[in-house]
């Protein structure tokens, strides 16, 4: 009987973890940002060599990699998905960017953003609502945020950039915020 209870508890815990992962996928589903938009995001964010940048929900690492490679920034991403984390870390290693780029395997809500100059995000509105209080508490004065397609409803953007065609037939809107 005791063993059956333990098994039921383990199954329930596993189900809760699976549900959490499903929930995370809903607020930050993987949808790759086209390379042209990645560059526009980093340009809009005025990323400079040596600055610290953070990409939330970094997926395959393309923003982190471009920030390190092209802009010579100290680039970090955070990715919850195991396969995407491994893929992006392997690509960083293959490109020899380990001194400038890294991916944290974890929850974007559990990170410390206080020392970063630029944050890039491509998150659904429900996730933006969740990170807003965290950013308000942690971000240093002068930090910049570039949001792709979805705005921070409680903040006023310093600049909005509309991109009619990304080369793949889709339009985009980028929002620049300054703290």
Cα separation of 144 and 12, whole Å?
41
Q: Are 143 and 173 in contact (CB under 8 A)?
A: no
Work out the pLDDT band at 169, boundaries 50, 70, 90. Answer: confident
- Count of CA atoms in the C-beta half-sphere (13 A) of 149: 16
State pLDDT tens for residues 66-93. 999 999 999 999 999 999 999 999 999 9
Conformation bin of residue 134: beta by default, left when phi > 0, alpha when psi is -120 to 50: alpha
- Count of CA atoms in the C-beta half-sphere (13 A) of 153: 8
State pLDDT tens for residues 113-167. 999 999 999 999 999 999 999 999 999 999 999 999 999 999 999 999 999 976 7
- Count of CA atoms in the C-beta half-sphere (13 A) of 5: 2
Phi, psi of 35 (to 5 degrees): -55, -40
Cα separation of 105 and 178, whole Å?
27
Work out the pLDDT band at 1, boundaries 50, 70, 90. Answer: very low
Task: Write down the pLDDT at residue 28.
Answer: 64
The CATH superfamily holding the domain 28-178 is Vaccinia Virus protein VP39 (3.40.50.150)
pLDDT exceeds 90 at position 4: no
Task: Write down the pLDDT at residue 27.
Answer: 58
Mean pLDDT score, 51-71: 97
Cα separation of 45 and 147, whole Å?
10
State pLDDT tens for residues 97-106. 999 999 999 9
Phi, psi of 147 (to 5 degrees): -105, 135
Beta strands at 172-178 and 159-163: parallel, antiparallel or unpaired? antiparallel
Which pTM was predicted?
0.84
Work out the pLDDT band at 22, boundaries 50, 70, 90. Answer: very low
Task: Write down the pLDDT at residue 111.
Answer: 96
Please give the residue that has the higher pLDDT: either 178 or 2: 178
Task: Write down the pLDDT at residue 165.
Answer: 78
Give the residue extent of every domain in the chain.
Answer: 28-178
Which residues have C-beta within 8 Å of that of residue 83, sequence separation ≥ 6?
none
């Amino acid at each position: 009987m005791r063993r059956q209870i333990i098994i039921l508890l383990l199954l329930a815990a596993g189900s809760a973890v699976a549900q959490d992962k499903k929930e995370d996928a809903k607020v930050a589903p993987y949808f790759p940002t086209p390379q042209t938009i990645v560059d526009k995001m980093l340009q809009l964010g005025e990323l400079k060599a040596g600055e610290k940048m953070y990409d939330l929900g970094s997926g395959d690492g393309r923003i982190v990699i471009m920030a390190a490679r092209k802009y010579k920034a100290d680039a970090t991403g955070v990715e919850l998905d195991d396969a995407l984390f491994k893929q992006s870390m392997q690509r960083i290693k293959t490109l020899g960017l380990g001194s400038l780029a890294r991916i944290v395997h974890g929850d974007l809500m559990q990170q410390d953003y206080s020392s970063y100059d630029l944050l890039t995000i491509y998150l659904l509105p429900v996730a933006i609502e969740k990170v807003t209080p965290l950013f308000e508490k942690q971000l240093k004065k002068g930090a910049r945020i570039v949001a792709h397609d979805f705005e921070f409803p409680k903040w006023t953007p310093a600049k909005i950039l509309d991109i009619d065609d990304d080369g793949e037939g889709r339009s985009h809107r980028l929002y620049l915020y300054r703290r």
